[in-house]
Amino acid sequence: MTAHLSGDTYPRDNRTWQILHAAQTGGYAVGAYNCYNDDGIIAVIRAAERQRSPAIIQVFPWALHFQGPEFISYAIARAHAATVPVAVHLDHCIEHADVELALKIPDLDSLMVDASTSDPEANMQYCAEIARRAKENGMTVEAEMGRINGGEDGLKTVDMEVLYTHPDFAREFVEKTGVQFLAPSFGNVHGPYPEGGAEKYWQLDRLEAIGQALGPATPLVLHGTHPVSDELFRKAMDRGVAKINLNRNVRDDYTDFVGQQYSRHELTVLKEKAVEVADGLVKLGLPYGGYLDGLTMYSPQYQSGDTKIVGLVYTVKFVPISDTNAPKPNGNYIDSIPKAAVVFISQPAPHINAVYGGLMSMRARFLDAAGVVFAKGVATTAGGSVCRPSQTDVRVQLNSDAYEAWIEPGDYIVADLDGVVCVPANLAEKVLEVIEPIVKADEKCAAGIKEGRTVQDVFKEYRGR
Ligand SMILES: [Zn+2]
């Protein structure tokens, strides 16, 4: 296993760099989950693979000392063997000795240097030195500029004065140090937020100015996420955040579960069940949550109406006509659409020719298909001269430059005017549990608004905020 993924040169060949730049280009952010033991590492990898999403596993230097550097090597071996991009990152290296240890770990993808307790000039010089040495080892570096308040499990509490990141100096800092990612201080707090929450403390204007000063070359990292609403996460993403550090958000339910169940099961059973709990939470916490980039719902009504289609996916894989070795279907795929299925058509690039038209749609409706979704615009030329259907009900990949997503038989497709989401089969029940109360609350809000009540009023009553 090596940190060098391709023939690219540093830092483009670095796994953390690739994951965060793909996120930034694609307009999403990637969760970086603090793991403390093997359960956490297995849970993150399983969740990422099931969700077909990239992920970052991060550990505090605490683990370097408690379990030993071999534990990080275990995490790296597991992460790099995953079927989706998973990087391993050493979070908050505050002590110089920790940085020294990190730089010696073979194939570690990235580390965070936290010299924020030094004065700003010393922080800059130190980060420049570490960035230079990390480069020699193929690792990328995240630095904290300014000083983020608070503390959390595995991390010392900072009780010095908070220093907010100044947008002008952020650019100078990145240029002079050569670090690849920046964790700004804009009112975010480590550990639980005081009364009023992140909504009260975050200075979004400052975050926006920092994002603009740095541009897409330097993805931002969000620290202090306990708790942060989805809405606020989206605002952070819009302002250049590509890495979202998640610690207690995922860990608490895992430790609660272990605490409640430890006397009821043998250790092996307990660990397996606890990983499932953490895995489920990580999945739901993944910021882009199954959203299929670039897809629109095509039928029953193209880009109009309030139709929402939900159904088991029926995948149809098209292959280029030149691929004569690919399997041939039994009859026309359209005749074997299962009732209430959502047809997902995967066409090889470039998507110039149409693969679906009126007659197909008519037959699909006759068979009670819930709808058809496919990608990237609409064409008028029939596709027969360049591609053909090959297999149905097979795993297909979404054509996206932004990230890697796969649609598997058994998954559910949910589509409306806002876009198309793929829900992995094993997650469907859990997602419904989460979604149902939200949908119910939304219906009550809508009824209230129709009666003339204010949004603030109905949100307060039915959504609790
Ligand atoms: Zn942090």
For residue range 259-315, list pLDDT tens digits in order: 988 888 889 989 988 888 887 777 644 444 455 555 555 555 555 555 566 777 888
- The answer to whether residues 193 and 336 belong to one domain is no
Q: What is the pTM of this model?
A: 0.64
Does the residue 385 lie in any domain?
A: yes
Separation of CA 162 and ligand 1 centre (Å):
14
Q: What's the confidence (pLDDT) of residue 446? A: 79
Question: Which one is catalytic: 8, 13, 39, 91?
Answer: 91
* 408 and 439 both lie in a single domain: no
The answer, yes or no, to whether the previous bond of 409 is cis (omega within 30 of 0) is no
Instruction: Give the Cα separation of 245 and 191 in Å (integer).
Output: 12
Residue 2 lies in a domain: no
Does 418 lie in the same domain as 390?
yes
pLDDT at 195 over 60: yes
110 CA from centroid of ligand 1 (Å): 14
Does any domain span residue 132? yes
Question: Is residue 447 in some structural domain?
Answer: yes
Percentage of residues in the chain with pLDDT exceeding 70?
76
Does 268 lie in the same domain as 232?
A: yes
Range among 224-228, 374-378, 448-452 with highest mean pLDDT value: 224-228
Please say which residue of 265, 285, 305 terminates a domain: 285
Are residues 193 and 266 located together in one domain of the fold?
A: yes
Query: Same domain, yes or no, for 184 and 260?
Result: yes
Last residue of a domain, one of 252, 267, 285: 285
Ion ligand 1: residues, CB within 5 A, are 223
**What is the per-residue pLDDT across 15-57, written as a single tens digit (0 to 9) for each?**
999 999 999 988 889 999 999 999 999 999 999 988 888 999 9
**pLDDT number for residue 307:** 58
* Strand locations in 11-76 (E): 30-34, 55-59
Is 91 among the catalytic positions?
yes
pLDDT of 95 strictly over 70: yes
Which element (helix H / strand E) includes 439? helix 428-450
| Mean predicted confidence (pLDDT) in 307-335 | 77
Tell me, what CATH number does 47's domain have? 3.20.20.70
Contact present, 438 and 448 (Cβ < 8 Å): no
Is residue 429 a part of any domain in this protein? Answer: no
Let me know whether 272 and 321 are in one domain. no
**Structural domain count, the chain:** 3
Residue 9 placed within a domain:
no
Same domain, 224 and 341: no
Does residue 3 fall inside a structural domain? Answer: no
Ligand 1 centroid distance, CA of 114 (Å): 9
pLDDT at 357: 58
Instruction: Name the pLDDT band for 160 (thresholds 50, 70, 90).
Output: confident
pLDDT, tens only, 114-155: 998 888 899 999 999 999 999 999 999 999 998 998 887 777
Instruction: Using the mean position of ligand 1's atoms as its centre, give its distance from the Cα of residue 92 in Å.
Output: 6
Per-residue model confidence (pLDDT) at position 378: 41
- The whole domain housing 54 covers 15-285
436 pLDDT exceeds 70? Answer: no
Provide the pLDDT for residue 381.
46
Same-domain pairing of 257 and 377 = no
- 410 lies in the same domain as 449: no
Q: What pLDDT, on a 0 to 100 scale, did the predictor assign at position 394?
A: 81
392 phi/psi in degrees, rounded to 5: -120, 160
Identify the three-state secondary structure at position 3.
coil
Residues 274 and 318 in one domain: no
> Which helix (H) or strand (E) segment is 236 a member of?
helix 230-238
Query: Do residue 51 and residue 157 come from a single domain?
Result: yes
